[in-house]
Structure 1
Amino acid sequence: MEELNKNQKIMHYIIHLLSKDDKWVRREVVLALIYYFSEKGYLDYKCSPMPHIWNDKIKFINISYEALEDLNYIIKNNYIQEILLSVRGLSLFIVGYKAKNNINYDNLEYLEDIKNFLKNKEIKIVENGIKVGDVEIDITEIKPVSFKSKSYIMEL
């Protein structure tokens, strides 16, 4: 198995912190935290708007295709588990993640900041993002993209 890169390790760490005690963390929470920590400079992703179903509504959310590819990579290589839950009355699955394998987080910046931000705080999914304690993360706020984009084909 290949060594995870910095972004993949931080993503794993976030899921690890939130999925302790046999809990699962919803995909929406992970996506919003990827956006938030990318904006803070902890993750090296450039987020841009893409269509997504958020709270049963089609919205544009700020996310990076590279982040989604990294998330799929750590799932495919058994670093985290993914669960799909079918709910009566909904046509979509609820997706959740749980850290599976422990990894080495040595020499990674920002781990203490991430831990302190998430520590003992209730996380709620709200209309346009999530709320972590008193901090609301609006993942649907459209911002100008500061880079030129090119077509990107995501691996399936």
Structure 2
Amino acid sequence: MNTVYDFSVEKMSGETTTLENYSNQVMLIVNTASKCGFTNQFEGLQKLYETYQDQGFVILGFPSDQFMNQEFEDQDEILNFCQTNYGVSFPMHTKTNVKGKEQHPLFHYLTEEKKGMLGGEIKWNFTKFLVNREGKVVERYSPQTKPEKIEADIKKYL
């Protein structure tokens, strides 16, 4: 696999799509959780999405329940929570394993490309990966990194 465009993912609707649909866009790929101390980052993420989507920027949310069961069981409940509480309109996907034996191939690729300061494996919710218009991972951000701290990097790649 050479770029993120090589991967297929499942939308909340259950439809499988390829990340090639986002070719020539800057992507921020985030593993999310609805019941996490960082959940309020949805607000900042949505603001970034609204600000830059017309310039070729997209955020892809991937709910994960792998960190202390901080995600709802039901996909509809996840989507409803995100939309009702944070106005999320960027694409959200089905619950995804972002680490371990059942790790989704996309997240295996992301963590191999940008191991981060703490090693390859994702350690917590709201780890973020910035992907340039060529589909290459260019930055990795810790869960503590607030979305507004990423804005300068997003602008650099737009």
Which TM-score applies when normalising by structure 1? 0.33
Structure whose residues are more often strand by fraction? 1
Q: Flag the structure with more relative contact order, 1 or 2, with Cα contacts below 8 A and sequence separation at least 6.
A: 2
Structure whose residues are more often helix by fraction? 2
